[in-house]
Amino acid sequence: MTRWGDLRLIAGRWPDVPSLTGMIAELHRKSAQFAALWAEHPVRTCAAHTRAYRHPVVGPLTLTGELLVLSDDPGKRVVIYHAEPGSPSAAALRLPAAAARGGTVTAPPPRT
Q: Could you tell me which residue, 85 or 72, shows the higher pLDDT?
A: 85
Phi, psi (rounded to 5 degrees) for 41: 60, 45
Task: Give residue 37's identity as a one-letter amino acid code.
Answer: L
Dihedral through CA 67, CA 2, CA 32, CA 12, nearest 10? -70
pLDDT exceeds 60 at position 112 = no
pLDDT exceeds 50 at position 1 = no
**What sections of the chain are H helices per DSSP?**
2-13, 18-30, 32-39, 88-100
Query: Angle at Cα 63 formed by Cα 71 and Cα 31, nearest 5°?
Result: 85
- Is the pTM above the cut of 0.75? no
pLDDT of residue 2: 47
